[in-house]
Amino acid sequence: MKELNKTYSPHDIESKWYKYWEDSKFFAAKMEEGKPSYSIVIPPPNVTGILHMGHILNNSIQDTLIRYKRMCGFNTLWMPGTDHAGIATQNKVERKLADEGLTKEDIGRDEFIKQVWEWKEQYGGVITTQQRRIGASLDWDRERFTMDEGLSESVKDIFIKLYNDGLIYQGEYMVNWCPRCGTALADDEVDHEDKAGNFWHLRYPVKDSEEFLIIATTRPETMLADAAIAVNPNDDRYKHLVGKTVVLPLVGREIPVIADEYVDMEFGTGALKITPAHDPNDFTIGEKHNLPIINMMTPDGKVVGEYEKYAGLDRFEARKVIVADLEAAGNLVKVEAHSHNVGTCYRCNTVIEPRVSKQWFVKMKPLAERALEVVRNGRVKLMPKRWEKVYYNWLENIRDWCISRQIWWGHRIPVWYGPDNHMFVAKSTEDAMAQAKAHYGKEVELTEETDVLDTWFSSALWPFSTLGWPNKTKELETFYPTSALVTGADILFFWVARMIMFGLYTMDDIPFENVYLHGIVRDDIGRKMSKSLGNSPDPLKLIDEYGADAIRFTMLYNTSQGQDVHFSEKLLEMGRNFANKIWNVSRFVLMNLDGFDITSVNKDELKLELVDKWIFSRLNKTAKEVGEKLDKFQLDEAAKTVYEFLRGDFCDWYVELAKVRLYNSDESGLASKKTAQYVLWTILDAGLKLLHPFMPFITEEIWQNIKVAGDTIMLSEYPVPKDELIDENVEKSFEYIQGLISSLRNIKAERGISPAKEVKVVIRTKNPMELKTLEDNYIFITKLAKIEELTFGEDLEAPEQSGFRVNGDSEVYMILTGLLDVEAEVKKIKEQLVKVEKELEKVNRKLSDEKFLGKAPEHILDRERKIQKEYQDKYDKLMENLKNFQ
């Protein structure tokens, strides 16, 4: 056996082993007949991205699952890839051009796209390089990119199929619009935050009347595009005005007063200005009442030319001028401070403008029906289960999906227009030209659609497009549906639900069986991590300091299913300490295996003692529990189970007890020593395999020093539990010994007696199991617990001057005669008695007070009774100790 370095240095081993794994193609998916399959597609990080703590958690969960299944003999595939991140990537390249004094329009679309690809080639691999640092065992030879040739073709295929089935259409609709990026945005691309603002109360005169309506608005500039005033039909204040018109201040346009139950009578003034072109709720009301859509703003957020005085003003500058004009005209009643929710672009932080725009949409209701059913019937399981209710709510109230974006980087919508705007949906210009020739009877010039598809559109195809669809590949046959999806709950709607819908629509099957929705990584006071708050640590620096294994294990250990993780660097000390413990115990075992050859062991010659049987029982029980917990996605519980076995059972107990046998060199102890060596090697080998999915690097390094055969621990067999080796009676017997040893150690510690001092012990018990354990393990217990003389039985007298503990049904006495200063001990006990008496008196007084008993709630009374019992038990124990000494 080789010897490990004295000090564990993750930096020295992690890059070495990852390169070995990747170069050796150990991550490669196999498609062997007769084997079960297990596959995961990675949530593709943005090609612009860099590793953050959320990635660490997400990738650690997936890697643990895939390594576990790989060791269990499955055909495994963990599919890597990145997302083209339309807006984010375009912004990166636009900023680069701006530094050169250029815009994308200056260089044209084709040249701009060429430069984006060049940027991607230069910088797009940063995050995949970083994923390797944390040990992610992805099948890199299969890496995909949402804009690569195969996936681009699948995007065109699915668009055309949806269009031909009547599920894609073009129409005018309300969207989130970024004036800076010049594009529509998905709901999830809008960040929301409360900002200080105002309520402007405006006076709208009723035509041919002395009356007027007062409305309150947070966006007074949009009044230029008002189409109506809405009131609740049950509001007695305004019933008489319904059907009349008001004159729009500054504009002079007459607009109707309409009745709609949407209006909240208690909010604001109870009268609501309706601006269908600039508010999503107003748009819905406008459709209902056939109101005109009047647009007062250009795509870049300026007032349109129809309003001559304000034309060309930025929307916020226009607000100031319009408010001043309203005040001058006597139409500004008052201004109130008001905090309200403001949406901003997730990429450039520009305030979003709700805007009616001609866009491409997918009809979602027909797709949502099946997606609801597969979760309801359990074919797709969401974990934690509480997310099902949220999922149902969203799909039951789903709106059509705006899939078009007014940017250049992305999948260009496969549509061409003829001279009369007739539309041709095709995979290529050639196909479109052929359709046009058939339609017009001659060749015509076509104009290609300039919009691109929402990034989420290509991501929705990820589970099958990455496996080769629309071709019928061996990968699709083997790995679809995939086994699990691991992602954040924040993209349940924007990605997970859409994959389910598109998988059912395209493949006529679910895309995955299990969806593990993990929480958000927050800082230690619960804030979401962000660069602006300065609370987002650099994972690469943490890896340099603590090692990837320590970080992975800490994150998994502290992540309950679906709960947010409150992260602090202090937590990582646990993972690092555990790694050091594993390293040091492995080093100890290797140093004590000189002359031992596991391949030549004759198991019939081994002398298994209670402690050996106990550790084998614990190993098999642990393997069983870990497997069950990983299969249920209870990764934190699985990590804790492995931790408790290796750190507690193996390191703290078995190895310590084995030392007695390892250092016994006489002839009679050789068989016992050899047995201890065999068990140490066997448990270390199995323990490293149990731990490998959680901590891949350190386990590989150590295993390579103890292995008998095989190239890598990651392809060795995960420990298979053997029920016949799980022995509850053995475990109970050993737990009794553990309790006995701990009791004696505690008595010594309390009395200031050296742990190495041998003592006399008396144990009184009528429990047959305890008596047999003491009898069968007499020599073992006396050596381990430093007992000079051990007496045990059913009817023994309690010795005078002794320390006392209860262990199971046993009364354990350590004889202290000659070990202590009796007078000092009596004095100490009496001083403790005085303190306990005072506290006991206090609680007794409280519980005998009728007023207190009558007024105090039951949980307070329970608490006081518990305190009373604790002090009474302490008092009785001290009195018994005092009696022994006197």
Binding residue per annotation — 531?
Answer: yes
**Rounded CA separation 372/855 (Å):** 53
* Residue 867 amino acid letter: I
**Rounded CA separation 674/690 (Å):** 24
884: nearest Cα among 804, 790, 793? 804
Q: Report whether 356 contacts 295 (CB < 8 A).
A: yes
What's the residue count for the chain?
886
> Residue 188 contacts by C-beta under 8 Å, 6 or more apart in sequence?
346, 456, 490, 491, 493, 494
579: nearest Cα among 697, 494, 684, 405? 697
Q: Report whether 45 contacts 84 (CB < 8 A).
A: no
Residue 729: Cβ within 10 Å count:
12
Q: Which token pair is 753? A: 């007696």
**Rounded CA separation 461/476 (Å):** 13
* Residue at token pair 């046959």: 477
Q: Report whether 697 contacts 135 (CB < 8 A).
A: yes
Residue 450: Cβ within 10 Å count:
13
613: region left, alpha or beta (phi > 0 left; psi from -120 to 50 alpha):
alpha
Q: Report whether 734 contacts 611 (CB < 8 A).
A: yes
Residue 178 pairs in a beta bridge with: 183
496: nearest Cα among 371, 652, 591? 371
**Rounded CA separation 468/465 (Å):** 5
**Rounded CA separation 654/608 (Å):** 13
Peptide bond into 384 cis (omega under 30): yes
Q: Which token pair is 865? A: 């009774």
Please give the helix or strand (H or E) that residue 323 lies within, else none. Answer: helix 315-328
Q: 375: buried, middle or exposed (CB in 10 Å: 19+, 13-18, 0-12)?
A: buried
Residues making up the annotated binding site are 531
Residues making up the annotated binding site for ATP are 531
